[in-house]
Structure 1
Amino acid sequence: MKVLITDEISQEGLQPLLDDSRMELDIKLGLSVQELHGIIGGYEAIITRSGTNVDAALLEHARGLKIIARAGVGIDNVDVEAASNKGIIVVNAPFGNVNSAAEHTLALLLSLCRKVTIANASLKKGEWKRSPFTGCELKGKTIGIIGIGKVGGRVALRVKAFEAEVIACDPYVSEKRAEDLGVRLVSLEDILRYSDIISVHTPLTEETHDMIRSEHFARMKDGVIIVNCARGGIYNEAATLEALESEKVAGAAFDVWSIEPPNTEVLSRLIGHPRMVVTPHLGANTVEAQRNVAVDVSREIINYLDGRPMESAVNIPRFDPDLMEHMKPFMALVSKIGEFISQLAPPNPSKVIFTYNGKLARYDCAPITVCGLAALLGRHTEQEVNMVNARLVAKNMGIVIEEVRTTESESFSNLITVTLETPEGKRSLAGTLFEGIPKIVKMRDFLTDFTPEGHMLVINYEDKPGLIGKIGTLLGEAGINIGSLNLGRRAKAGEAMVVLSLDTPAAPETIEKLAASVEARFIRAVHMH
């Protein structure tokens, strides 16, 4: 396999390729766009960092390219859609820097607790002061970690060595994973209420953007310490500044920012705050991390050549065309089921069961399973989850995947059911296709009939006269139009499940009013991609 390397890559990290006799490596740095276009057709793989723009124009010249390897986390310089359309696999190295990021978290936290940065500056000015720099220990503190994936898990293990108590919140990690780390899984509310120190380690998604806002700071202990070495924007930065200025937060240590380089007044004030320890996104900046990302992408190229699963593929490889054409409608259906149930089910699943009923069960349903699994896990992990790596991601989370097929079906010619087993019990969602359109026909044991749409609201309550009217009135007062409404119930005046599609999303305060008005047992906004 001919491999082109266009950016500075750790030579030590390329050793797996150098040791493989099937590989022919060409290192060509500083190529112009025209030069790159002229030679790319002779290569099957390309390894880049951020200095090479792998765009659609380049891919038009890449006649034999099979794999694009980005030696780092970000893939902003790769046109993934154009690569996917040409059947070219794109891989990155999302975990090569996990240890580096975990250690940097500890470095910032300890620097903050022991006031290293300001004591260092004082002594360098020729001062000899000690009392202003009295710090605090980690021993005996309760440390709350939000997200115990690859980085958060390592942080948990390391702070436990300081004899701290560690509690964690992560809705898509099994209890076994938490037990293996020796931490106790709790709710986000308990993290806020009981933690002396809070560190976030989640990806930046729709759910985690501004996840910690003013109302969350209000529920924290006075004098709490907060850390962010994950992604800028998880803590609302204006609210963070306000909490520092009010001394609700005793100190903060941040490596990441919502805008990089930071260029707003809020960020300037936050970075300049005397109780902030800050660095310019250095979490991955170690010699070891740079070597690791090169090793990771080198191994992925070898995995591709050997036909083995790849953990870090960020797009979908091609399946057999005949099989794909038959599966496409069902893959769309299971993706919607997976995305929908991921927002409703209780946290920490230990098992996910995909059940296929009817004619569909005659076929190999593995592509459908991994597609649904990718949709299910995609909102809750630090990495891109797709059909290539979904099973590996689930395995790393401690989640068991089971597939059940039966040609028997009572009501539908084809039915797909996704069931999650969690510490709070089982939750299931079933769907089918009506003239090619995905429909959800069962939620738990409630019969339903609706098409998942962009903004939805699910409410479970005791059915009483007038409640549907109250829901409509409150949404109307909030300026929200109802696109459709589906009511499922077990019996007259019994427990009911209402699913509404909305033209615009409902604000948290509107949802709180709805919950109080109908005495909801469960209410959740669902946002579909």
Structure 2
Amino acid sequence: MPPRVLIADKLSPAAVAIFKERGVDADVRTGLKKEELLAIIGDYDGLAVRSATKADKDVLAAAKNLKVIGRAGIGVDNVDIPAATAAGIVVMNTPFGNSITTAEHAIAMMFALARQLPAADASTQAGKWEKNRFMGVELYAKTLGLIGAGNIGSIVADRANGLKMRVIAYDPFLSPERAVEIGVEKVELDELLARADVITLHTPLTDKTRNILSREALAKAKKGVLIVNCARGGLVDEQALREALDSGQVGGAGFDVFVDEPATSNPLFGAANLVATPHLGASTLEAQENVALQVAEQMSDYLLTGAVTNALNSPSVTAEEAPKLKPYVALAEKLGALAGQMVDVNVKAIDVAFEGDVASLNVKPLSAALIAGVMRPMLAEVNMVSAPAVAKERGIVVSESRQEASPVYDSLIRVTVTTGMGKRAFAGVVVGGAPRVVEVKSMELEAAFQPAMLYVSNLDKPGFIGALGVLLGEAGVNIATFNLGRRAAGEDAIALVGVDQALDEVLLAKVQALPHVKEVRALAF
């Protein structure tokens, strides 16, 4: 009996044709109410959706035969990925099908702002003929600042170079070699703000990128700058931007995405120099055709051959390997997350070393999990499957080594991250089935990973531990674990402190101000 796929949201008819050609039965039933979906989902091997159908825990619990969910597009907010993973359901998306369309929308926004097209159109159609009111600016020879230079950002750079603009880019994961390849000058954020006549955003929304254009950043920008956001709502402080638009600090803003969507009201609405569209970045006939074709091909491949493409939750691991790898995957994820939170500048290389018994296993999923952890603070959507490709795209050199013997532990994983400021190394082991860190910045210590942790680098001087404990106690922060490491008495030392609640910026600043403290970071796992 051929596999059966339910197409629950509107897709191009070409997708149905592909399923049929490949020998997959596809039923098109759009607009189903939740109870209707629950009643039939158990009959299907695959579910193809866009953004309307919600594959939540209830639906997944009823989907007894479901093997794959395909999202025709990038975002998968409508799919409960943890629940799908627990149920053994592969979740796929189509991350590149609408890249050109989204890039073109950003370019269109640039032109609309530069020549005030929406306001000029409304004025002209009202019969006013205000020829002297609308004085635009050329984009030729202006400086475009990209925040994010991945797939879409590089397409925007290519188009902007064709317009003879100067293109600069801020992206911690962009290598100098990749910058040359896509025709941009790599800069830090403050330099981009100071130089850019136009700023476009092309980055996911993560804790590190949220409000990356903050009130302070907007104040540093060149007066009259044009800002375009066709990426994610929340990358720009909307209230601060409205004030900057009203004051003239920002000359114009083109927004396709907003913090709250559907955006029926917003602080930006009503600004004279705002161009707004209702999340149209992927809305072209070509893009919708592309993502529909891709999702049909990917789902057919998986159902017929087991081949996995653009999966968000499924590394390549056989049933026999899974039990042995599971604790090491957990270690790799935690170790990568530690390394990722400990580096702020551009990553040039990631070296992963496996020592002892783990070196004899299938380490590819472990490397992928570790690489994903390193990059996730800046790229939320990266995962075990996409991490190696994303690293390659960003010009990050990834290397892997194995050593059959481990001097101290039965098995050890070490990651060394090379940045523009040097190298940082971190190592971990599995103890009793749980991951533990045993080396940070070449200093030995042993600590369990806690959901919230405090990292402190300091000079090993008497009184530091007491001062830190008093400070945290006075702030009402309970210490769960406290682990120390040092090079030698009086030299560099580190502390990894497990805490019951995360430290805010004010408390972190107080820790930083303690005598002999060099570096402080709040970590989350």
The match for 1:331 is 329
Work out the CA distance in 1 between the residues paired with 2:221 and 2:453.
31
Work out the CA distance in 2 between the residues paired with 1:134 and 1:398.
41
Go from structure 1 to structure 2 and tell me whether the alpha carbon gap of 1:157 and 1:435 turns closer, same or farther (over 3 Å shift). same
1:112 Cα shift?
0.9
The match for 1:7 is 9
Secondary structure of the structure 2 residue equivalent to 1:290: helix
Work out the CA distance in 2 between the residues paired with 1:70 and 1:160.
33
What are the residue-to-residue correspondences of 1:59-458 with 2, within 5 Å? Answer: 59-263=60-264, 267=266, 269-304=267-302, 305-311=304-310, 313-316=311-314, 319-381=317-379, 383=381, 385-458=382-455
Work out the CA distance in 2 between the residues paired with 1:525 and 1:220.
28
Work out the CA distance in 2 between the residues paired with 1:436 and 1:402.
26
1:105 Cα shift?
0.9
1:335 Cα shift?
0.8
The answer to whether the 8 Å contact 1:87/1:318 transfers is no
- Provide the aligned length of Structure 1 versus Structure 2: 522
1:258 Cα shift?
0.7
Work out the CA distance in 2 between the residues paired with 1:2 and 1:25.
6
Secondary structure of the structure 2 residue equivalent to 1:131: coil
394-403 or 245-254, which deviates more: 394-403
1:367 Cα shift?
2.8
Secondary structure of the structure 1 residue equivalent to 2:390: helix
Work out the CA distance in 2 between the residues paired with 1:335 and 1:349.
18
Tell me, yes or no, if structure 1 residue 527 matches structure 2 residue 520.
no
1:415 Cα shift?
1.0
The answer to whether the 8 Å contact 2:416/2:425 transfers is yes
The answer to whether the 8 Å contact 1:149/1:381 transfers is no
496-505 or 246-255, which deviates more: 496-505
334-343 or 488-497, which deviates more: 488-497
The answer to whether the 8 Å contact 1:44/1:64 transfers is yes
1:283 Cα shift?
1.0
The answer to whether the 8 Å contact 2:325/2:361 transfers is no
1:336 Cα shift?
0.5
Work out the CA distance in 2 between the residues paired with 1:430 and 1:489.
15
Go from structure 1 to structure 2 and tell me whether the alpha carbon gap of 1:470 and 1:198 turns closer, same or farther (over 3 Å shift). farther
Which consecutive unaligned segments of at least 5 residues does structure 2 have?
A: none
1:484 Cα shift?
3.8
The answer to whether the 8 Å contact 1:347/1:422 transfers is yes
Q: What is the aligned-residue identity percentage?
A: 39
Go from structure 1 to structure 2 and tell me whether the alpha carbon gap of 1:39 and 1:503 turns closer, same or farther (over 3 Å shift). closer
Work out the CA distance in 1 between the residues paired with 2:394 and 2:406.
32
Superposed CA offset, 1:73-119 (max 9, x none): 33343333333233221212233222111111111121111111111
Superposed CA offset, 1:406-439 (max 9, x none): 2211122221101223343322110112333322
Work out the CA distance in 2 between the residues paired with 1:13 and 1:361.
43
Superposed CA offset, 1:445-490 (max 9, x none): 2112222323333333444454545545555565544444433222
329-338 or 56-65, which deviates more: 56-65
1:56 Cα shift?
4.1
Superposed CA offset, 1:121-161 (max 9, x none): 11111112223211122233222211111222212222222
Superposed CA offset, 1:356-403 (max 9, x none): 1122223222332222233233333363x3333333333333334332
Work out the CA distance in 2 between the residues paired with 1:37 and 1:51.
15
What are the residue-to-residue correspondences of 1:47-66 with 2, within 5 Å? Answer: 47-66=48-67
10-19 or 322-331, which deviates more: 10-19
Work out the CA distance in 2 between the residues paired with 1:224 and 1:12.
43
Report the aligned-residue RMSD: 2.7
The answer to whether the 8 Å contact 2:340/2:376 transfers is no
Which consecutive unaligned segments of at least 5 residues does structure 1 have?
A: none
TM-score normalized by the length of structure 1: 0.90
1:207 Cα shift?
2.0
Secondary structure of the structure 1 residue equivalent to 2:321: helix
The answer to whether the 8 Å contact 2:204/2:231 transfers is yes
Secondary structure of the structure 2 residue equivalent to 1:271: coil
Superposed CA offset, 1:166-221 (max 9, x none): 22112233333222112122222222233222222111122222232222222222
361-370 or 117-126, which deviates more: 361-370
Go from structure 1 to structure 2 and tell me whether the alpha carbon gap of 1:444 and 1:33 turns closer, same or farther (over 3 Å shift). closer
